[in-house]
Structure 1
Amino acid sequence: MKLKSISRRVYRAILSVSVVSMVVMVMTVLLVNEDLERTMLGTEFAQEREFILTNNIGNETLVWDTPNLAVMFVPSGKPRPAAMPHVFRGLPDKFSAEINIEGQTYLVSVDTVETGLLYVAKNITHFEDREALFEIALVFMTIVIIAFSLLLAALSSRRIVRPLKLLTERISRIPVGPNMPRMETDYAEAELHSIAMTFNRFLDELESYVRREQSLLNLASHELRTPIAVMSGALDVLETRDQLHPNDRATLQRVRRACDEMRDNVNILLKLARRESGNPAQEALDLAPAIRRVINDLKASPHAVHRVILEEQAGLKVVTDPVMVHMLLRNLIHNAVQHTQGDIWVRIFDGAVEIEDRGPGLTADQQAILLGEKRVSSEGSPLSGLGLYIVTLMAERLGWGLDISRSDQNGTRIRLTPNSPVPAAAGHP
């Protein structure tokens, strides 16, 4: 989603208000000016027409033609004179409008009175010239107002957004850690002061929550490791007695491996949960034997081994944490075994490992969790064991790339890309 700037939004809002206000003002001024001009001309025109009707009309034809006023009266029943003013020529008996003749503007009225037909034309060119000058001045003022609005919008937007930028900078400078400093609350604006106070309360609650989680992890560390240590000790006692049948001894070795694996898994889970910054154990690991070990560990699942097909198209050795890699591969393969019915292919390429099934595919929410775009799922995790979130954490901890190359109704293909493959010619370090 494209982010939008508050400063630009405020700038546009102020500029829009200024432009709309200016347009409304200009339209109002033009309408008022037009109405005022028509009212003045109409009043003068009516007064002159009334004066002519009162004093100069008889039973004779009247023709009066001056540069500013032209009047002609034709009594009823008589024809129009041949030498009539130019402005009246070709006009109908009922007419009222403005006429432009030779660069001059006339307000003309032709009306029937009781005794005949009255023509009146008033030269309003000076009014039109004044109106043109007024419109030019109005355009100039509009340009000035627009320029002032641009400047005002730019200055106002910066002034309004400056405290928000200061608040953002202060928040970004707060280091993430167990003891985070609190924000300054010296804001003159009540809203920003309230935001700073709320953020400080949020930091208080967050630190309290982290402390509670840390205490819980410490307790879990003890409670999880103690039973494992007890089981390991009991296995040592059984081996020391040396009273087991060879078949029981083989079973005991399987229990020993499971107990050791549980101990390693608990250590890694606690390390992930605590977000320890130390680098994981680095060893050279051949992924093909590691994957075979995972497949053999799945023998407890019915028909699991026969469904998982390993295709080693190229050898792949990496320098990584073998225990965490084993957990990552086991969870992904076990999830495919548990949630699908068909064959599962594990392919080893030069620089990548792919796990492909023929299941119903992952939902959009599940894919977002697996790709690290989402931390929790409202519908629950589709993976068993550690779940999608833990798988993401392990891949992130190892520095491996994790990508869903395909997920639809025909199945899912997940691609793992190690970040430190060992060249084939280099061998084990």
Structure 2
Amino acid sequence: MKSSLTQRLARTLFFLIAATTATSMIIVEVFVYDVEDTILDLELKAEAEYFTEQLREGRFQPIKTAQLEVIFLPEGEAEALLPEYFRSRHLPFSQEVEIGQTTLLIVGEQLESPDGKLFLAQDITIMENREALVQLALAGVAGFMLLIGFIVARSGAGYLIRPFKKLTREVLNTTPGSSMLQITTDYRDREFCDIAQAFNRFLSELEHHIEREKSFVKLASHELRTPLAVMSGALNVLEQRQSLSAADQKTLARIRRAMQTMRDDTEVLLELARSEATESDVRTIVLQEVVQNTIDDLEHGQPDHAGRITVYNNSPGLRVTTHPALVRMLVRNLLQNALRHTRAEVEVRMIENRISVRDFGSGLPIKVTERLSSVVAPSANNSKPGEFSSATFGLLIVRLVCERLGWDLEIAQSDNEGTEFLIHVHNFV
């Protein structure tokens, strides 16, 4: 599942705030430790120099206060006279030492004039306790900052994404058609205005394209109907002369039937091209009669197809309320596809509310099978260039007709043993 842009932006903002908080805490911690080092390296060493000067002038007196202790051990005297924390130190010495609950900063130096050892110890327990308190406070501040950062990241991400969500909703609510509402371009950010304007230009081009397509369909409708009307009139003239033999009249009937089929198919194709449903042509039909008539037309038109189609029907009285021309076109294209891809027989089975058309050829290409079995029906809006040609025009019509009728198309089998199409019929009486 793809992540949300809002969540990604919120995570990024929170990460930046957390990184800034952590960096600030580290800087404060380093500063606190630097204060200790400053006391140890500067203050106590300055004190050591002061007391060293007093020793040279003979004015030195040992000091022990609440925070500071200074002792001088002349050379040759035993270290037992020193407090335990001064003993056995390799001079020069400078370090923080913990004695029970007390923390001392100790500095020890070897003097030559006068000869001996000078020790200084400063009690920094209060500072250490304060440091622990400061660290606890810093942890609390860090937690509070992270909480604030989380809230700011969530609200900030929502604020930044708000115009993008608005733009997305407007785009999703746009319905393709000959007249589409333009989306608003009153955004504060220039980038969103550019996207909205670009999408509006695309909508304008799409409207022009749809308008041109409708004009073409109207023109094609006129151009296709005109020659059919001429052919129909010519057939009527031939029939009125009554000069044809019985065989010629039979041939004439076949021509008229083929012409009527062509007229119906033309209307169906134009209807499919317009993507409009015409309820006036809907009526109740016996499915077996439509299938059998379609088979008869195929066998009369192509003598080599005669005897190759076998029909099995356990529901001879199945009636369906639908478009007869669409059903006829559906069955004919399925049978033509099956007859074209195999020289063996083709089986048509009508079982309950299903129509099965099976051949025994080499099967369909994988790409065609995947395309016809997809949830979304193939159309000019969701197909790649050249994809229709790979699925053959007949199978494309099959899928479009099933979509229009509301029937389900299933490829039950497609391998080296043959192909079987299953049509799940609805709206049966």
For residues 205-264 of structure 1, the C-alpha deviation after alignment (integer angstroms, 9 at most, x for no partner) is 222222211221111111111111222222222223333333333322222211110000
Residues 297 and 85 from structure 1, CA distance in 2 versus in 1: closer, same or farther, beyond 3 angstroms? farther
**Per-residue deviation at 1:196?**
3.0
1:262-411 mapped onto 2 (5 Å cutoff): 262-279=262-279, 281-299=281-299, 304=305, 307-315=308-316, 316-340=318-342, 343-357=345-359, 358-364=361-367, 367-369=370-372, 371=374, 372-375=376-379, 376-380=383-387, 381-388=389-396, 390-408=397-415, 411=418
Partner of 1:21: 20
- Classify the secondary structure of the residue corresponding to 1:361: coil
Partner of 1:31: 30
Of 112-121 and 273-282, deviating more is 112-121
What is the letter of the counterpart of residue 354 of structure 1? S
Partner of 1:416: 423
Partner of 2:98: 100
**Per-residue deviation at 1:268?**
0.9
Aligned partners of 1:234, 1:341: CA distance in 2, in Å? 37
Partner of 2:257: 257
For residues 11-67 of structure 1, the C-alpha deviation after alignment (integer angstroms, 9 at most, x for no partner) is 333222222222222222222332343233322233234445555499xxx998766
- Classify the secondary structure of the residue corresponding to 1:415: strand
Tell me the TM-score normalised to structure 1 length.
0.82
8 A contact 1:361–1:410 mirrored in 2: no
Aligned partners of 1:93, 1:342: CA distance in 2, in Å? 107
What is the letter of the counterpart of residue 362 of structure 2? G
Of 350-359 and 340-349, deviating more is 340-349
**Per-residue deviation at 1:327?**
0.5
**Per-residue deviation at 1:366?**
5.2
Aligned partners of 1:35, 1:244: CA distance in 2, in Å? 119
**Per-residue deviation at 1:104?**
1.3
Aligned partners of 1:410, 1:113: CA distance in 2, in Å? 106
Tell me the TM-score normalised to structure 2 length.
0.82
For residues 121-140 of structure 1, the C-alpha deviation after alignment (integer angstroms, 9 at most, x for no partner) is 43322221221122122122
Residues 53 and 232 from structure 1, CA distance in 2 versus in 1: closer, same or farther, beyond 3 angstroms? same
1:2-401 mapped onto 2 (5 Å cutoff): 2=1, 4-53=3-52, 55-56=54-55, 68-69=67-68, 81-88=79-86, 97-108=95-106, 121-171=121-171, 177-279=177-279, 281-299=281-299, 304=305, 307-315=308-316, 316-340=318-342, 343-357=345-359, 358-364=361-367, 367-369=370-372, 371=374, 372-375=376-379, 376-380=383-387, 381-388=389-396, 390-401=397-408
- Classify the secondary structure of the residue corresponding to 1:391: helix
**Per-residue deviation at 1:173?**
5.5
For residues 273-296 of structure 1, the C-alpha deviation after alignment (integer angstroms, 9 at most, x for no partner) is 112243262233333333333333
**Per-residue deviation at 1:269?**
0.9
What is the letter of the counterpart of residue 426 of structure 2? N
8 A contact 2:177–2:210 mirrored in 1: no
Aligned partners of 2:288, 2:277: CA distance in 1, in Å? 29
8 A contact 2:286–2:320 mirrored in 1: yes
Aligned partners of 1:22, 1:406: CA distance in 2, in Å? 63
Of 242-251 and 224-233, deviating more is 242-251
- Classify the secondary structure of the residue corresponding to 1:82: helix
Aligned partners of 1:309, 1:85: CA distance in 2, in Å? 115
Residues 304 and 120 from structure 1, CA distance in 2 versus in 1: closer, same or farther, beyond 3 angstroms? farther
Partner of 1:426: none
Residues 269 and 94 from structure 1, CA distance in 2 versus in 1: closer, same or farther, beyond 3 angstroms? same
- Classify the secondary structure of the residue corresponding to 1:100: strand
8 A contact 2:378–2:399 mirrored in 1: no
CA RMSD, Structure 1 to Structure 2 (Å): 3.4
Aligned partners of 2:71, 2:417: CA distance in 1, in Å? 97
What is the letter of the counterpart of residue 335 of structure 2? I
8 A contact 2:334–2:394 mirrored in 1: no
Residues 91 and 325 from structure 1, CA distance in 2 versus in 1: closer, same or farther, beyond 3 angstroms? farther
What is the letter of the counterpart of residue 346 of structure 1? V
8 A contact 1:354–1:415 mirrored in 2: yes
Of 7-16 and 370-379, deviating more is 370-379
Residues 74 and 386 from structure 1, CA distance in 2 versus in 1: closer, same or farther, beyond 3 angstroms? same
For residues 66-122 of structure 1, the C-alpha deviation after alignment (integer angstroms, 9 at most, x for no partner) is 66445666677x585335423245767787543322111223456767767766543
Identity of aligned residues (%): 34
**Per-residue deviation at 1:411?**
4.5
Residues 266 and 110 from structure 1, CA distance in 2 versus in 1: closer, same or farther, beyond 3 angstroms? same
Aligned partners of 1:373, 1:50: CA distance in 2, in Å? 93
8 A contact 1:70–1:85 mirrored in 2: no
